[in-house]
């Protein structure tokens, strides 16, 4: 790599401290409604925290160019609001009980109110984005929301099925990588980047998002409930097979395949134990396989931004793929 990487995540967040604080304030203001339930749900979601990785990516991409800082803060809040709206809807669809170690919003306010609160967040995000008076911004956000909704519908169709790796990549692009890519592209757009620069940053975000989701899926299988803030192996319990499981299914015996199918059918670890699935994944090297795939996408992400001049911001962007792959939660 042409430039040394910033060594810690803490340094990256310190670099963006004031901007992230401004986004947090913007997010807080933008989720207030005259309808009490929306405000309460919005505050519950915002207080749940999260890595704020999408606003971080937007800010860093924008800082590669001269840009309007108010636009970066505004759109940073927009991408976090869209991400939050997807979480609300995901938890309803998945019938989740917890999110980040706290009760999921749907367990406190019910599905009906949370569906509408999620819809409101989507519309509020677009209302704020319109203030940019930039059709490119709106085009990118409209395409994003269509991809995410289509992805959710496709995932519902695949529930309980042993999907192919190609189908899995399509789902995780729509589920996660698309929003990562849009975050970096929005930073480029408000920085008046040229088409090639926007494309490179979009490719960076896309591959970073794929790496992020692959690692997320592995952690779902291997981390503890305390670390995850939700039950272990939630994906399998919800009828979803992810990369490590797909890899094992390509090599396993019919009897071992039946173990996975049983979990998918029962939507629980009753007849089959979580430890049996982990044992199978370890036997076929499926966990290292998934981590290797994540590392490859992280490297593709780094290569995508090689052409940008060396700077503190570029070094921060080069560091993030390592944080993504090496994280434990």
Q: Which of 300, 298, 314, 305 is nearest to 201 (CA)?
A: 305
Ramachandran area for residue 133 (φ above 0: left; ψ -120 to 50: alpha; else beta): left
Q: Which of 133, 28, 134, 37 is nearest to 81 (CA)?
A: 28
Which of 24-38, 61-75, 104-118 shows the highest mean pLDDT? Answer: 61-75
pLDDT of residue 7: 58
Give the pLDDT confidence of 232-257 residue by residue, as tens digits.
899 999 999 999 999 999 999 999 99
Please write the tens of the pLDDT for every residue from 222-234: 988 778 777 889 9
- Residues near 285 by Cβ (< 8 Å), separated by ≥ 6? none
Spell out the domain ranges in the chain. Answer: 9-326
Measure the CA–CA gap between 291 and 288, rounded to whole angstroms. Answer: 5
CATH number of 9-326: 1.10.600.10
- Calculate the average pLDDT of the chain: 93
Q: What percent of the chain has pLDDT over 70?
A: 98
Using DSSP's 3-state secondary structure scheme, residue 5 falls into coil
pTM: 0.94
Q: How far apart are CA 244 and CA 216, in angstroms?
A: 11
Q: Where are the alpha helices (DSSP H) in 223-307?
A: 225-228, 234-237, 243-249, 254-266, 274-283, 286-304
Give residues with Cβ within 8 angstroms of 15, minimum separation 6: 6, 312, 313, 316
Task: Report the distance separating Cα 131 and Cα 146, nearest Å.
Answer: 21
DSSP code string of 280-297: HHHHTTHHHHHHHHHHHH
Other CB atoms closer than 10 Å to residue 288's CB: what's the count? 14
């Amino acid at each position: 790599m042409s430039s040394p990487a910033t060594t810690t995540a803490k340094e990256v967040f310190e670099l963006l401290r004031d901007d992230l604080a401004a986004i947090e304030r913007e997010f807080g203001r933008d989720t207030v409604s005259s309808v009490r339930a929306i405000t309460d749900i919005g505050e519950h979601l915002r207080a749940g925290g999260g890595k704020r990785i999408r606003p971080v990516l937007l800010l860093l991409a924008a800082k590669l160019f001269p840009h309007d800082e108010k636009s970066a803060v505004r759109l940073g809040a927009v991408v976090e609001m869209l991400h939050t709206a997807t979480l609300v809807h995901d938890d309803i669809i998945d019938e989740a009980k917890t999110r980040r170690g706290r009760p999921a919003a749907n367990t406190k306010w019910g599905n009906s109110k949370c569906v509408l609160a999620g819809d409101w967040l989507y519309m509020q995000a677009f209302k704020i984005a319109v203030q940019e008076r930039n059709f490119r911004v709106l085009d990118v956000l409209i395409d994003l929301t269509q991809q995410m909704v289509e992805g959710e519908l496709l995932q519902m169709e695949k529930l309980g099925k042993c999907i192919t790796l190609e189908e899995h990549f399509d789902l995780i692009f729509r589920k996660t990588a698309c929003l990562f890519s849009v975050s970096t592209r929005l930073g480029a757009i408000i920085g008046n980047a040229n088409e090639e620069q926007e494309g490179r940053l979009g490719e960076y975000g896309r591959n970073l998002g794929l790496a992020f989701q692959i690692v997320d899926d592995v952690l779902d299988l291997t981390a503890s409930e305390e670390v995850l803030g939700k039950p272990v192996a939630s994906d399998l319990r919800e009828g979803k097979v992810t990369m490590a499981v797909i890899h094992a299914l390509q090599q396993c015996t019919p009897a071992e395949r039946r173990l996975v199918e049983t979990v998918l059918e029962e939507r629980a670890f009753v007849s089959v134990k979580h430890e049996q699935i982990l044992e199978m994944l370890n036997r076929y090297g499926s966990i290292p396989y998934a981590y290797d795939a994540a590392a490859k996408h992280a490297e593709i992400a780094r290569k995508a931004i090689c052409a940008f001049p060396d700077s503190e911001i570029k070094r921060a962007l080069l560091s993030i793929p390592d944080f993504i792959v090496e994280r434990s939660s």
